[in-house]
Homo-oligomer: A and B are copies of this chain.
């Protein structure tokens, strides 16, 4: 589909991988279901099929990456390669990304860097979907944070949005005609609702603290990249607007900073955390459920909603018509 829309083959592969990785890990909201929006964005000229990103080192440790309206995952991996290389001499390197499409799930990026022995932090903003604690208007993005930390046998990978749930999960309940649990979202009067059709804003996770965290990330990304704020952010869910969110990556090299990540203590500590429940399996380390699911789905395949599959087939048959 992407190649038919003039995306170079190597870039199409990176973008397709990003979508499929989300489905493999059990996050269909960031999976192949986004292909039709992306295809429409390319057709409409708001996402460029050929990604020409410009990297400008502001200092030895900080690079501004202008994505030139290109594909988020292509820009992200280009930026990360430069940051990883730079962090080997500077210890810390930060990438400030603007003007590219949705990056997709953040876990695969930080996991890859952590697999290479560096620490990676990722922040990205999105359309305003989350209401402030005490409020009811959608003014804050779902603003995820991802953290990758080298460890044996596998990196530690946290990838969490600051909303209670994704809009995708609310839409899924809407499609099924099922109520949502109280606490997920509010209606236009600011009341907690169980009716997925009445939802106007997702609630922050963890009350006032989760709200503070999401707001801090919103401000942080804008303060570092110059990207837009709150309800002014467009271009990741729609098919007609140039994307104006920002993304931030940071790579840190523990070896340069004098810390040995390969001694046993990180592994031992994570084992202790795993064993910290009443029964085996009660405590799950972030990222491990996804990793297991990914391994299983690589063998057994990915279950897709039939609407998503039909959409993909239709796109495949005719990628270029609206």
Contact = CB atoms under 8 A, between A and B. Distances in A.
Interface in A251-300: 252, 254, 256-259, 261, 265-266, 269, 272-273, 276-278, 282-286
Nearest to A217: B147
A86 to B, nearest CB: 10
Contact of A215 (B90, B140, B273): B273
A139 B283 CA distance: 12
A226 to B, nearest CB: 5
Number of copies: 2
B259 A223 contact: yes
Nearest to A57: B91
B252 A94 contact: yes
Interface of A: 58-62, 64, 89-92, 94, 96, 119, 131-137, 139-140, 145, 147, 149-151, 156, 158, 160, 189-190, 205-213, 215-216, 218-220, 222-226, 229-231, 252, 254, 256-259, 261, 265-266, 269, 272-273, 276-278, 282-286
Given A62-B91, A132-B273, A226-B258, 19 more contacts: A59-B92, A61-B90, A62-B256, A119-B223, A119-B224, A132-B283, A135-B273, A136-B276, A136-B277, A136-B278, A149-B220, A160-B212, A206-B209, A210-B210, A216-B286, A218-B269, A223-B254, A229-B265, A231-B272
